[in-house]
Every structure is written in structure tokens, then in C-alpha cells.
Amino acid sequence: MSYQAGRPENVLRRAEDLININQPDVALQNLYAFITSKRTKSIEPTNPQLLEIFKLFISLAIDSRLSKDIKDALYQYKKMIQALNTAVGYESLEQLTKYFLTTANSKLDEAQSKANSAAEVAIEKSVASAAAAQKIIGSGDMDVDVDETDDVEDDEAFTFNLSPEDILLSSVTTDDTTDRSNKEFFLPWLRFAWESYRTVLELLRGSNKLENSYCQVTLQSFQFCVKYERKSEFKRLCEILKTHLLSMSKEYEDSVNLSNPDTLQKFLDTRFQQLNTAVELELWKESFKSIEDVHGLMKYSKRTPKPISMINYFNNLAKIFQVSNNYVYATAARQKLFQLLIQSPVITDTELKENASIHLISSLSIPILETIDDSFSSQNGLVDAEFFKRKNNKLTSLLNLNETPSRESLLNSATLKTVLKYADVKIVELYNLLEKNFNPLSFHSSADKILNEIANSDKYAPFAEPLKKVIISKVLSKVSTLYESIKFDFLYKLCNFSNNLFNYDEFTFEDLIINGQFSGLLKVDVELDEESGVINFIDKLYVTPGYKVNSRLFDLARSLSNAIGLINIEETKELEKERQFKLLKAARDGFEEEKKNILQTANIIKERESALSNEKRDEQLRAEKEKAEDLLRYKRSEEERIAQDNERREQEKREKTQKRILMENKKALIKDINAKGVINIKYEDVKDMSEDDIRQLQIDKLESESKKLEEQTDAIFKRADYIERAQRQYEIPLLEKEITKDVSKQKAEYDLLKEKKMDQAKKTHEQELKVKERLSRFVPVFEEYTKKLDDLSSDVVKIQQKKAEEAFEEAKNARIAEFIAAKKREFLENARREAEKVAAKEAEEKAREAELHAREEKAKAREEAFKAEEQRRMAADPERMLYEELKNKAGISMSEKMKLRRLAAKYEN
């Protein structure tokens, strides 16, 4: 039997002896062989000697930074603990992981102190080397012996045992001494400590017996990242924790149950600490992801989170939104935060004042023009409005709000009234000047002192830029409604303050007004007269493509035109008829050509749309094909790489096993030979010799042990399969009982709900019957009134119906005459074509003359039809006939004048 498979106390004593004789590598190898041995699995995992063996192995492996071997040992111990499945066993595993992390952190601290000491020594040595190099170079003789110099710098150099290489290196090196020391001593141990935390987190995850230790190690990992400012490691840690959380949704034996309120609270506290760490490291992307995790866990939890946790949540959420310049949601988060703070019994007036002031100034910093046009993505067509809608819905859900917040809703909320009581006096005064009593002419002088104090305050200075934009937006919006034109210098003075944080230079200010972001706020067009230095605000309603005119002059011109039309009625009427006739003639002449052009344009558009859709479809198919090919190539390369890695690991494992077996066999052979007392052989003398017979015997023993283990494993698998099938057979009747119980419960709930709905329907029916009875009293009055209306309108309807019939008959006769004329023209056209076949040129000339004659007749017929239509329309409209009679009548009464004015307004416009 090999020594590694012996009793734990013997293995421990043997390892300690090897360490005492300064052979820790051999001791580490023996301990690893014992830990991974098959017989070790049958030992009680809570055995104190076994636990000490694991601790000793971890301690020796940490000295050599063998993270992979430590991971194998810890997972081996976890398997033994899971097989035992006792509380004591899990406590032992937690104790072992705690020892591992404590030892790794102590080594890291030692490495840091060593690196600092080495850096100090290296700095002193570098200074002395530089001084010596400068002395030698200054002497002008590179062969001068350093020992012969008697200056102070040379004496100090010899205290450090300087070599010529050190002197030359000091004169050319540019690498920082501290960085070199850290790379040599500190960074390797820092990477090892990070791997230690990752190993322990992977080891402890997923088990409800180890959830307390898992949360503690997670918090220690956060402290590690903060202490050493490891941002990349923290990002990776957040991804690992998110993966662990997703895997916890899978239910299996001893899995973490997130439906348990205590368990969920532990993980929620861990995520809150993750959020605090991300904010402290200023990793805002990770902070937002942590916020999403916290919000998801809070929604999953049936227990209301603690107020202090919610205060922390909304405080960090406000910081994240403020960093991203999203002042709307930052203000909404601060509003939620203030509502929680004001309910706290331990909050002080100073804290309330500070939070209220920040909330108020954040509300004032919200941009007035809330659009998505300012973003690069929307300007370049990379995103659409639906994207921003989904984004706003997501951010609104993070704040637990029912609707998307806006500047108006936040400034008009009931919470703001309470905020005004606690906020700083100067911020409240600024609020009144901006929102309550805003005057663009006096705001400069009234708010200049307040804005200067805000710019000089570290607490309010971050809000200076958005406040500046809000102030300029309000000034421009108000000025554009009050003035048609204003001096540029005067307007710039209104938007210029004593502190430069709130100012733009003149060129930037001019560009922002004319072409910049503030032009979208104005309801008018802005023009700058460079010669006079005047800005003109022109109403957009009266802007024409050719030129722009003032709105008042446009109104005056329109009124004068209407007056001329009322004075010269006959002339205006003739001009209008002539204009309409010309328009109708031009429309008829160009109808066929315009129709042809429209059809051609429609065909071109359809062809282009078809070609564009085909091109897009082909491009999409090519992209999908390329993506599928890339994915297939990546998958194949990954499979090849994994296969190569597995093959390489198997090869390394086989080589390592063969070397260990060879060494153990040789040691056993030497021990047997030396035990006989005939000769004494040292291992170093015969380590290159071959012992085939003993090696073959050892291999046979290993194969027999392997066969025994396979037989035991098969027996265990069979027993486990039997137990699993027995458990399932036992669970079936219990599950059926549960289903029956649930069905009966659901049926009772359905009956209760049905009864409630029936009672509600009956009550609604009774109320509707009462309403019907109350309204039925109005039916006779309504019927009498409608009968009177029908009698009054029946005569008018009959007259209009008679006129419509007459008009219909006239139109029908006109269309019949036009149809006959068209048939005649068609007959003549056919005759003309026949004549062309008989005579060439003569028939062609006659046909041209006939065509010209037909066009003249057609124009006359159309003119007659138009006149007939006009007469028919006059006859069909009695009021128009009355209007013509009154207009031509010489002496008319006052009532007839009133009728004439009403009819003129109707028909002249």
C-alpha cells in the first residue's frame, strides 16, 4: 500500500516532518496525492486531522500560488460534504474557505509591504546611481576607479554595492521604480487573490446551506475591489454574480430558494452593496445594471424593502441619472428620496435642507424643450421614437412610477410644496424668479447674485450648465413673444451674468440662437441683421417660399383686397369668371398629358420601390448568410479549441500520473532494498536507472484497484437509480392529492366570484330600470316636437326634391346630346381613316381640316354646355337668383339690404 492512502494522522505527521527538513514541495505533492486519492472519499469529512490536512495543503499551495490545485482540493472536499449532508460538514467547508481567503489576503498584504520597501530601496539606489554616473561623466574620464573618489556621493553609492550596470541603467531607464516593484512583488499576488475570490464564489454558489457564506464572500469581494481600485475585476465580478443569480432559478435539491423572504433579503442587501461599490468606483454602467438587479429582486420579493434600503436605492439612482445628464429622471428619483427622508424619524433638519435644495435645483435644471432631436443616434436615423418610448417605460418602472415624468409634472407636484419649505433660501428665490415671476428684462439683475453663489458652491456647481440652458431658453421664448425685433447687444446683455459658468461668448450665443438648439424652442423664425445688429422674430404662419412679410401688412393687404371686391362687384365678377374659364380651359387642354405623366411617374415609383425592396431583401439575405457562416466557423473553431484543450489536459494528466508512478515505484524499491540491510542506496544515485519489473508490478496493482473502483461505482449507480425510481413512485399519490386539493380550492373561488358578479349585475339592472322609468316621461314631449319639425320641413323637402328632379332631367338630356355628338365624331373619324387609305396626301389634308373643324365645334359645344350648366345652377339655387335680382334692383328697402349683404358674403367669398 502506498503511503498516501494511509490514515490521516500519519499523512499529516509525515507532511510536517517533510516541511521541517525543508522539503515543502514533496510534502505538497504527498498531500495532493492523498486528497485526490479514491480511498480518501471514504474518510469522515469532519475528521479534525482531515481538516488540518486540507488547511496545510492550502497553506503550502498558496506559497507556490497553485490556484488550480487549491480549487481541485476544495471541490473534492465539497463532494465529500455533500455526500455526508450534515450541518457540521457545511460549517467545516465554510471554515476551510475562510482560512483560504484569510491566508491569501495576508500574503497579499505582505507582498504589498515588500513592494513598498523594495521601491524605497530602489529609489535610493537609483538616486545614488544617478549621482555616481553624473560624477563619472563630469570627470571626463570613463576609466576612473570609483574606489579612488572621496566624494560623499561615491561613498553612498558603495553602501549600495553599485555595479557599472546599475550606473548605466540609472542614466537611461525611464520605467518607474514603484511600478517595477509592484510588477515584481505585488501584482502576481493580487491576481492570485482575485482568483481566490472567484474560486470560493463558484464553490459556495447554489446551495441553501452555504448562502450565508456566499453573501459574506461577495461583500468581501466588493471590499477587495474598492481597496485596490480594481475596476475591471469588479465588472467581471458583477457578470459572475448575475450568472449565479440566473442559475438560482433552476430548482434542484438543496438549491437556493429565492421565494424565501429571508434568503431574498440577503441577496437584496448584497445587491445594494454592489450598487454602492459601483457608485464609489464611478462605474456608472455597472451601477445601472446593479439597479436593474435590485429592482428585479424587489419586484420578486413579497416583503416591503426597508426604508433605509430604498433611500440608498433612490439616492444612487439619482446619481446615475445625473451623471448621464438625464435631469428629468434624476429629479423624479430625488422626489422619491425626499418623500422617504421626510418620513424618517431620525433625519435632521440639515439633511432635509440639503436634499430639498438639491431636489429643487435639479427640478429647475430640467430642459424646457424635451425632445429626442439632440441625440446623435436620432439625428443619424440609428434609433426611432419607439426606442425612446421603451427606454422611458423602463426608466419609469425603475422609479416605480405610473406615468413618464415631465418638467411640468415635477414642478407642479405636491411634494415640491413641501420641498420649498425646507430648501435653501437662495434656491427658493431662484425658483420664484424662474417659474413664478419670470421677467426677462429684470431677471439678469435679480438673479445675478444667486447664480454667482451657485457657481461658487461645490454642491450646486454641477447644475450650472443645465441651469444656463434653461435660463437662456426662457429668456428667448419670452422675448420672441414680446418683441418683433430687438438689439442683439441688448439680448446678449440679458443672458450675460457676472459668473462665466453661466455665459456664452458672443459668437457661440449668436450661433445657438440662429442655428442651435434654442431655435427649436421658438415659435417664430429668427433673422439677424448684421449691419444694424438687430434680431427679427418673424411669425411662421405668414412665411411664403419667395419672400417673408410682416403679419400686420399681410392682414392690411387682405382687407383692402376684400374692400375693392365689394366696391367693384361687376368687374370683380367678370374677372373671376374669366379667370375660372381660363383655368378650366388650361386644365382640359393639359389633362391627357398630365394624366400620362402621372401614370409614368407612378410606374417609375413602383419600379424603384420594387428594386429597392429586392435590393434590401438580397442584402438582408446576404447578411444573414454571412452571419450564419461566421457563427458556424466560430462554433467549429470553438469545438476544435475545446477538443484540443481537453486533449492537452488529458495528455498532461497522463504524463503527470506516469511521472508520479515512476517516482513512487523507485522510492519503494530503494526502501525495500535498504530495509534488508545488505546495501544502502541513495535515490539521487539511481534516479536515472530503469526498474521494469517493479514498475510492471506497480502498474498491475493500479489496474486492479481501478477495476475495484469501477465495480464499486457501478454498484453505487445502480443503487442511486433504484432510489430515484422509488422516490418518484412514492411521490405520485402525494402529487395527485395536491392536484385534487388545488382543483377544489379553485372551484370554490370560482363559485364565490360568480356569485359576486351575479349580485353586481342585478344591482346594475335595477339602476338602469330606474333610469329608464325616469327618462320615459320625456318621450311624449319629444315625439310631439319631432312631429312639428317634420311638418315644417316636409314642404321644403318637396320643393327641393322637385328642383332636383328638374336638374336631373336637364343634366340627363345634356349628356344624351353630348353622347350623340361623340358618336357622330367617332363616325367621322372612321370615315376619315378610310379616306386616308384611298388618297394619301389629299385625304390627309382633308382630314386635318376636318379635325380642326371638329375641335372648333367641340370648343363651342363645351362653351354652350358650360353656359347651360351655369344657367341650370342659377335656376337650381333660388337664393343666388334672389341675390342677382337684389343686386340689379335700383331702390331696395332696409330688409332687402340686409339680405343682399348676407348673400354677398356667401357668394363673393
Q: Assess whether 379 and 404 both reside in one domain.
A: yes
Measure the CA–CA gap between 526 and 519, rounded to whole angstroms. 8
Domain boundary among 372, 399, 423: 423
Q: Are residues 265 and 215 in the same domain?
A: yes
Mean pLDDT for 466-481 is: 84
142 band by pLDDT with thresholds 50, 70 and 90: very low
| Residue 709 lies inside a defined structural domain of this protein | no
- Statement to judge: residues 293 and 329 lie in one domain: no
Tell me if 474 sits within 8 A of 434, measured CB to CB: yes
- pLDDT for res 149: 41
List the alpha helices (DSSP H) in 140-257: 152-159, 164-172, 177-181, 187-204, 211-228, 231-247
Residue 858 included in any domain: no
Question: Which three cell numbers, joined as nine digits, stand for 217?
Answer: 464572500
The two beta strands, 485-487 and 534-539, are antiparallel
Q: Which residues contact 523 (CB under 8 A, 6 or more apart)?
A: 480, 481, 540
The answer as to whether 483 is a domain residue is no
Identify whether residues 2 and 42 lie together within a single domain: yes
DSSP secondary structure letters along 478-531:
HHHHH-SEEEHHHHHHHT--SSGGG---HHHHHHHHHTSTTTTT-SEEEEEETT
Confidence tier at 160 by pLDDT (50, 70, 90): very low
Last residue of a domain, which of 147, 181, 215? 181
Say yes or no: 291 and 314 in one domain. no
* pLDDT tens digits along 207-233: 878 888 888 888 888 888 888 888 888
3-state secondary structure (DSSP) of residue 534: strand
The whole domain housing 151 covers 128-181
The reported pLDDT for the residue numbered 855 is: 82
**What digits encode the pLDDT tens for the residues 619-676?**
888 878 887 787 787 778 777 877 887 787 778 777 777 777 777 767 776 676 556 5
Q: Are 543 and 886 in contact (CB under 8 A)?
A: no
Residue 46 belongs to some domain of the structure: yes
815 belongs to a structural domain: no
Q: What is the pLDDT of residues 167-186, one digit of tens each?
A: 555 444 444 556 666 666 77
Q: Name the grid cell of 749.
A: 373561488
Mean pLDDT across 256-275: 79
- Alpha-carbon dihedral 284, 288, 291, 295, rounded to 10 degrees: 170
Measured distance CA(2)–CA(845) in Å, rounded: 128
Task: Specify the higher pLDDT residue, 325 or 126.
Answer: 325
| Whether residue 24 is found in the same domain as residue 58 | yes
Q: Tens digit of pLDDT for each residue in 388-434?
A: 677 777 787 777 788 888 888 888 888 888 888 888 888 888 888 88
What CA–CA distance (Å, rounded) separates 202 from 839?
105
pLDDT of residue 698: 46
pLDDT greater than 80 at residue 614: yes
The answer to whether residue 133 sits within a structural domain is: yes
Assess whether 291 and 357 both reside in one domain.
no
Find the mean pLDDT for residues 881-890. Answer: 74
Query: Does 316 lie in the same domain as 222?
Result: no
Residues 169, 215, single domain; the answer is no
Whether 316 and 416 share a structural domain: yes
Q: pLDDT band for position 849 (50/70/90)? A: confident
Q: Kindly state whether residue 257 falls inside one of the protein's structural domains.
A: yes
Cell 390627309 sits on residue: 844
Domain boundary residue among 272, 300, 328? 300
Mean pLDDT of the chain: 77
Both 333 and 292 in one domain: the answer is: no
Q: What is the pTM (predicted TM-score) of this model?
A: 0.51
> Are both 319 and 390 inside the same structural domain?
yes
Question: CB-side exposure of 616: number of CA atoms within 13 Å?
Answer: 6
Give the H or E element holding residue 366. none
Question: Is residue 92 domain-resident?
Answer: no
Number of domain units in the chain: 5
